[in-house]
Amino acid sequence: MNRLTAIGLASLVAWGVLIATKYAGFAPASAGDRAPARVTATEGKLTVGESAVLPVVAEPRAAASIASANRIQTVKASAASLEFRAATDLKAYADQLLSRRATLNADERYHLAKTLEECQFVASMNEDLIAYAAKQRRLFLAGLPAGDALNGKRIAAFEASDNTQRCARFQGTKIAAKDIESLYADAAQQGDPRAQARMFVADLNKHNNGVPGSSKPPGDTSAGQRVDGSSELNVLIGLLETHDPEAVVTVGQVLSTMATTQQIRIGPDGEMAEPNAFLGAFLLVACDYGPDCLALNREALNACAYAGYCDARTYEDLYQNFLASPFAYAQAMRYRSIIHDAIATRNWALIGLTQKSGPFRAQAQNVATAKP
């Protein structure tokens, strides 16, 4: 498995763990945890197909307050991040960055790599892109219940989550995997915590999978160093101390693997964490640090587009009312407070990060399915 494949697999975990069933129109909770899907007057008389996915109606639950969250110093989205998100033509965006590649800062280099990575699928397509996009849209529209009031929002969310048009001008170009990897590595060397997190997970996977040549020379302390559990511990703590939302998500993906949660103990009482809720807690913490939650924006769009849950104003709304069962949400909120306390006080033992921790394994190690 090459480094980019490992990175890609690791990035699928949050999606696979939390919303693996959402395309069927259900949150990943037991039937007893959910209110039934709304039945409209047109039930049984759908003209768009009997397989139409009805929207999910959230069951109101009491919101919990997190005292620690009130003390958080939030991280604003960077200029490059906002520019990437707003770009309607990612080829023009990438060309502009490539024209001054030698002088790019870490943030710009990271987003150049991200752009090339997200648009790889277009570069390798032989099918007419306009026809392909139109076909995908027709298939999506065919799954909507006829006359539903939410259809406008669902269509808008579908279009916002589809990168086909944004990447269209990459068709016919060559995007080399080694170039993307090099950009991420350079961004990590420049100090970008998101790139450092990605390289760390890739190196972790390479080591765990026994890839030859995965060790680094003595004295090399670059991001992703994998020598022993202690080195991994230092990297994970360093990523959390950046308060970068994407880096926090990566740490959560590593610590919430089944293998890791069985070996670490968290909280003042040294309890074993429930993996799904522990991951959910890290996602909530990430959004506490970056309230606009750019890294998780696609999840909200897909929840609206494919399942009709369009009421989320924050990621916590989405997690509470769509992604998690009441039990998982309650657990995640408690873990969230523990994580905040660990970061604020630098008492890393609260989240199981001690000298006895490790070696760690990346979440994607045993995940064979799930795709955002």
231 within a domain of the structure (yes/no): no
Which among 36-40, 45-49, 294-298, 327-331 has the top mean pLDDT? 327-331
User: What distances in angstroms separate CA 158 from CA 53, 152, 193, 270, 318, one per listed residue?
Assistant: 14, 10, 30, 43, 17
278 vs 134: CA distance, rounded Å: 39
pLDDT 10s digits, 77-130: 788 988 998 999 999 999 999 999 999 999 999 999 999 999 998 888 888 888
Nearest CA to 201 among 358, 16, 361?
361
* Contact present, 75 and 66 (Cβ < 8 Å): no
Domain that holds residue 129: 3-217+240-366
Say how far residue 58 (Cα) sits from the centre of its chain: 22
Q: Which residue is associated with the tokens 């587009």?
A: 305
Maximum separation of any 2 CA atoms in the chain, in Å: 69
Lowest mean per-residue pLDDT among 17-26, 83-92, 162-171, 335-344: 17-26
Could you tell me the two tokens for 92?
């023009």
227 within a domain of the structure (yes/no): no
Could you tell me the two tokens for 43?
């039930």
pLDDT 10s digits, 199-234: 999 888 887 665 444 444 433 434 334 444 458 889
User: What distances in angstroms separate CA 273 from CA 78, 195, 270, 342, one per listed residue?
Assistant: 33, 27, 9, 15
37 vs 308: CA distance, rounded Å: 10
pLDDT for 48 equals 39
CA count, 13 A, side-chain hemisphere, 278? 25
Question: Does position 368 have pLDDT exceeding 70, yes or no?
Answer: no
pLDDT 10s digits, 52-90: 555 555 554 444 445 444 456 677 778 898 899 899 999
pLDDT 10s digits, 288-339: 998 777 667 889 999 999 999 999 989 999 999 999 999 999 999 999 999 9
Q: What does pTM read for this prediction?
A: 0.74
Question: Does position 139 have pLDDT exceeding 80, yes or no?
Answer: yes
Give one DSSP letter per residue of 90-141, joined into a string.
HHHHHHHHHTTGGG--HHHHHHHHHHHHHTHHHHT--S-HHHHHHHHHHHHH
225 within a domain of the structure (yes/no): no
* Contact present, 183 and 113 (Cβ < 8 Å): yes
24 vs 84: CA distance, rounded Å: 31
**What does residue 176 show for φ and ψ, rounded to 5 degrees?**
-85, 135
233 within a domain of the structure (yes/no): no
Say how far residue 142 (Cα) sits from the centre of its chain: 28
20: Cβ–Cβ under 8 A, 6 or more apart, which residues? 28, 369, 370
Nearest CA to 22 among 321, 316, 274, 286?
321
147 vs 1: CA distance, rounded Å: 47
134 within a domain of the structure (yes/no): yes
Could you tell me the two tokens for 135?
């076909």
pLDDT 10s digits, 243-287: 999 999 999 999 999 888 888 999 999 999 999 999 999 999 999
> How many percent of the chain have pLDDT more than 90?
53
139 within a domain of the structure (yes/no): yes
226 within a domain of the structure (yes/no): no
Domain total for the chain? 1
40 vs 244: CA distance, rounded Å: 43
Question: Does position 362 have pLDDT exceeding 80, yes or no?
Answer: no
